[in-house]
Structure 1
Amino acid sequence: FVVHIEKALADVQGAYPMLCSQFAAHNADRLSYINREEDLGIEGLRKSKLSYNPAFLLNKNVITFR
């Protein structure tokens, strides 16, 4: 299951964890993996994603053409 966007009120403490938890419980409860996509190098977002103890992390690659 891929989550492209998560949006909550940032000034409400616990809004993002609750959003993630409830969304997964109601929409992906029978699936093995949830892909929360790239953390964009944002420290808080990366910390949040790592707190869910991911099964694995994928390496990011860049392709350039000459």
Structure 2
Amino acid sequence: MTHGGFPSDAGPRIAIVALACAALLIIPRSASLGAILATGFFGGAIIALFRVGEGGSPLQLICLALS
């Protein structure tokens, strides 16, 4: 985590956000909100990879363009 510029204790908080996005996607009434939040979450993960210089594969670029 520290290699990516995040504090070492940020792992559990990131996991909670990912689980909350997944829970919102499962519930039909909040699925659209969950989709928006999950898209932002995955876009942020790709940007974090670009920050440390590990991004740039074609699949990551396509996902970034879609988010």
Verify same fold: TM over 0.5. no
TM-score by length of 2: 0.30
Greater gyration radius? 1
Point out the structure with the larger helix share: 2
Query: Normalization by structure 1: what TM-score?
Result: 0.30
